[in-house]
Structure 1
């Protein structure tokens, strides 16, 4: 295990339309996706994982999306790993372009079923779409392939990524729209080195467990679900998010990060390091003590030495920007 663990940036549900075309006539999803990739730089990720619905309504935007993700990968110095969702058309030539699959080390039954390695951490992606059906589905062929891959543990364990969550949404309006027959997947994962399952699809954050494995369904880059919508109503809200995933020795955490201001700042003060307090256990008064110790910087995975990265875009090289 890399002694300092791994940091993944999890993006989902970008819902990209043709450049210049706004989602719902109001949301520039290209700009939101570019902003999410720029914001990822501050967390110095070992990989970016994008869990589907890259396009909105199967629109042919994949060549542009592949270029955007490839530029981000070069600027961030890490792979951007992409898988399809129910709004995508994974069989298109653009989807299988080298930009979407360049870091994979093995392939499965169909487009989107891939294995990637980041240092000693293995990331497996699965296409969970069941065309024409509200719920996602993994075929017997996919489950058998996954079982075969997981038979050999990875040095630092495995993260599984798919679009449809194997846990329920908080909203009854979304009932039956997650992964169908999640127990089948749970049976494959039982006793393996899988440390977490990352998903999207619901457009709101959900945490849960599939057997003993933590599940994180991240909030969307494009827009959010209104969790207080009237019964029987599905209502989108203007919000944009990324998730920061951290994997340590025996630990997993997922933090949703809003990409838009949440409201007015009600306080701002210098952080205080616990060891600068007058005596053990003392709580310092706000603003009375300043720490002279810098915050520790996370160390990148083996094979991915950290280099100082500005927030994107940068003056040199290709900036991450909407087409």
Structure 2
């Protein structure tokens, strides 16, 4: 019997971003797409992996209305309860801090919405990178001080940093007008810390890179996505929506892009039980 190279993950996280829900009385984003069915489909797909947490990295509302956040709770919380998953809300540039905090965090404020959560020994820090009224993000001195204070004491299983504005080079030129400012100073705080991965969004396209040696996992949008066939140009499309399946192992954190939609079968489906039986037949076992 051969043991697989990696055991099953210690933590599983469903990473959603840029849901862009609106007041249900006016649900269409740009008059074209209702993002709610995409969110429901992502929750249904994520349930198959029994995530311990659902992390939503900003632009949860498109219009910043109280009604949009109530609609978000109506859709997400019952599904999370069925999964037994903790919900972690992170705000983005389209979000209104006051409405966001009152409906989703239980207390109204206009101050930056930094948060700290724990999944057992794994810490999830949420860094508010928004600048009210602006599309671009910024890491302020006050934000860096909060983050440095949190990171002064390492967590038993390390830290995941969740934020809206992905600290990555832009792929499409116009995106430079809404990038994250202050990435060099953020890098200095992260260097040598226990941060194992950064979960982000904002650009409406999946992207991966590193900051201070920390892997960055930027999820695409569950509302509309960027058409990379335009090259360095820009075109938002109602298609290719996806979420990320994040799996935390002892020595690595992986992120798998999970596109929405049902497509023609090429290889016949096998259940988890059938897969386990086949692994046994092949003399392979996965620990955990």
Judging changes above 3 Å, is the alpha-carbon distance between structure 1 residues 269 and 40 closer, same or farther for their aligned structure 2 residues?
closer
Residue 268 of structure 1 corresponds to which residue in structure 2? 267
Aligned length: 271
Q: TM-score, normalised by structure 1?
A: 0.76
Q: TM-score, normalised by structure 2?
A: 0.85
- Distance, in Å, in 2 between the alignment partners of 1:23 and 1:135 is 20
CA RMSD of aligned residues (A): 2.7
Judging changes above 3 Å, is the alpha-carbon distance between structure 1 residues 147 and 113 closer, same or farther for their aligned structure 2 residues?
same
1:40 aligns with one of 42, 46, 55? 46
Secondary structure of the structure 1 residue equivalent to 2:147: helix
Whether the aligned pair in 2 keeps the contact of 1:9 and 1:243 (CA below 8 Å) is yes
Q: Which has the higher helix share?
A: 2
Q: How does 1:289-304 map to 2 (within 5 A)?
A: 291=278, 293=280
Structure 1 residue ranges without an equivalent (≥5): 103-107, 272-289, 300-323
- Distance, in Å, in 1 between the alignment partners of 2:94 and 2:234 is 21
Residue 17 of structure 1 corresponds to which residue in structure 2? 22
- Distance, in Å, in 2 between the alignment partners of 1:56 and 1:109 is 18
Secondary structure of the structure 1 residue equivalent to 2:150: helix
Secondary structure of the structure 1 residue equivalent to 2:187: helix
Q: Is the aligned partner of 1:184 residue 2:185?
A: yes
Q: Deviations over 1:48-90 (max 9, x none)?
A: 1000001113233112223333222211102010011000002
- Distance, in Å, in 2 between the alignment partners of 1:258 and 1:185 is 31
Secondary structure of the structure 1 residue equivalent to 2:189: helix
Structure 2 residue ranges without an equivalent (≥5): 1-6, 271-276
- Distance, in Å, in 2 between the alignment partners of 1:87 and 1:218 is 16
> Which protein shows a greater Rg?
1
Secondary structure of the structure 2 residue equivalent to 1:163: strand
Q: Deviations over 1:279-306 (max 9, x none)?
A: xxxxxxxxxxx9264998996xxxxxxx
- Distance, in Å, in 1 between the alignment partners of 2:125 and 2:192 is 16
Whether the aligned pair in 1 keeps the contact of 2:97 and 2:110 (CA below 8 Å) is no
Question: How much does 1:28 deviate?
Answer: 2.0
Secondary structure of the structure 2 residue equivalent to 1:54: coil
Q: Is the aligned partner of 1:69 residue 2:76?
A: yes
